[in-house]
Amino acid sequence: MKVLLLSLFHPELVRGGAQQICYELFEGLQAQEGVEPFLLAAIEPRFAALYTSGARITGFDNRPNEFVFLARDYDYAWNKAANFQLIESYAEFLTTIKPDVVHFHHFLLFGINLLAVTRKVLPEAKIVFTFHEFLSICEANGHMLRKSDNSLCTRASNVRCHQCFPNIGPEQFLMREMWMKRHLAMADAFTCPSRFMIEHYVNWGLDRDKIGHVTNGQRDYSGGVALTNARTKRNRFGFFGQMVDNKGVWVILRAIEQLRAEGFTDFTVEINGDNLRYASEARRTEFEDFLAAERARPFTEQILSFAGSYQVDELPHRMARIDWCLVPSTWWEIFGLVISEAWMFKRPVIASNVGGPKERIRHDEDGLLFAVGDARALADTIRRACTEEGLWTRLVAGIKPPASRDVMVKGYLETYGVHPAMAAASERIETASASPAVKSRRRSG
């Protein structure tokens, strides 16, 4: 069975949860007998060196079965591929590989219309679509945040969306919804990594029977060794992830300000992340100004430090520097891979009480939840984490191992309609059928 995985970006070019999970799945499928995976990762023109003359789809770094989709002329208004030659190259790519399953992990930079192209070129292939956000529903980058006050949005409607985008009429949002649903109808199955997402998409109008839950799974980057030490203080906090607005770094900054103003400074916060360039100018400036002011303080008075971007293989020594992991997301955080990564190293998570974190974290049993976007609530939680005797040890004891990559692979194989054991048996049958003895019996028969 051939499986083509479509990923927004390659994780080695741009860090992000959706592309990391897609690559984990690609590697996991490589270990399955009877399954041959292919990866097609979309990139944008800012990676100019990869845009060789006339190329549209090329290999990636001389790696077997890894390719990049050189997006150009993308229509962000309708989220569609508008370059006819690129669409033609994608169709040719499909006919060359002939995958049995085409698994979209995003349509951004590819175009939602490539689902229809896939169905036309490969009418017998199974098309699977995994939602990693709400871009199909929400024009606001799929975050479902109200533009007026950045509050969480619970449902989309023509008028509500028009309120966020006054320059776009309600009728155009109706057309947008029809456009999205028309192309998503080409998929045979949908999956979501968190169960709360399913309700959002069902309420939007997708068939509940076509949507399944497949958790995100990863390799265990801890190597099976939990990071522990004999420290009695548990006052070191860390943020890991994208430094864009909805990840909530600004909530951390304001919590630090409040605690410092109250005279509570016996703690540190380390920011590990990248893609600050994708943050709004206001949030980017706020972080840069805060960091500059912090570095101007005497070293002994500094609370915040910035450790920069990282790769997953750096997690052991970065997690070793902290006691608590902060996930202050201000949107419907879909899953929170960093929660899994923190749990690998037995680090309790302090997170916003929405979406994936709320679904995954058992408050006061294996982590702590606080009111989303509330710097005061985060400040109080940080103080509690630093001062409540026995809290850290109790929460660590409650942490269970996160889902493994094998669990995720099994879930997707079942979505594809193939049980792992069936895949192995199929491989053995095909190998036997290709043997000279079998071919001879077929001819004589």
Q: What is the pLDDT of residues 328-345, one digit of tens each?
A: 999 999 999 999 999 999
Fold of 2-219+404-433: Rossmann fold (3.40.50)
**CA dist., res. 402 & res. 225, Å (int):** 14
pLDDT tens track for 254-274? 999 999 999 999 999 999 998
With tokens 């990863």, the residue in question is 218
**Looking at residue 226, what is its pLDDT?**
66
State mean pLDDT over 137-156.
93
Write the CA distances from 5 to 67, 183, 197, 350, integer angstroms. 10, 18, 21, 33
**Residues ≥6 apart with Cβ < 8 Å to 1:** 34, 35, 36, 100, 101, 416, 418, 423, 426
Between β-strands 349-352 and 367-370, what pairing exists: parallel, antiparallel or unpaired?
parallel
Identify the pLDDT of residue 418: 79
Per DSSP, the chain holds a count of helices (H) and strands (E) of 16, 14
Give 113-175 as a DSSP string.
THHHHHHHH-TTSEEEEE-SSSTTT-TTTT--B-TTT-PBP----HHHHHHH-TTS-HHHHHH
pLDDT-derived band at 438, boundaries 50, 70, 90: very low
Does 303 score more than 60 pLDDT?
A: yes
Question: What pLDDT is stored for residue 278 in this prediction?
Answer: 87
DSSP β-ladder status, 324-327 and 304-308:
unpaired
Q: Is the pLDDT of residue 324 over 80?
A: yes
Decide which of 445 and 83 is more confident: 83
Indicate whether 290 pLDDT > 80: yes
- Pairing relation of β-strands 66-70 and 57-59? antiparallel
- CB of 108 closer than 8 Å to CB of 8: yes
Confidence of residue 440 (pLDDT cuts 50, 70, 90): very low
> What is the mean predicted confidence (pLDDT) over 230-236?
86
The three-state secondary structure class of 320 is: coil
Tell me what pLDDT residue 229 has.
Answer: 64
Q: How confident is the model at residue 439 (pLDDT cuts 50, 70, 90)?
A: very low
d(CA 379, CA 253): 10
Q: Would you state the torsion angle of the CA atoms of residues 40, 44, 50, 54, taken in this order, to the nearest 10 degrees?
A: 90
Q: What is the mean pLDDT of residues 353-381?
A: 98
CB 75 within 8 A of CB 113: no
DSSP state of 431: H
Chain-centre distance for alpha carbon 420: 24
Fold entry, domain 236-398: Rossmann fold (3.40.50)
Domain ranges of the chain: 2-219+404-433, 236-398
Residue 80 in tokens: 């569609």
Model confidence, pTM: 0.89
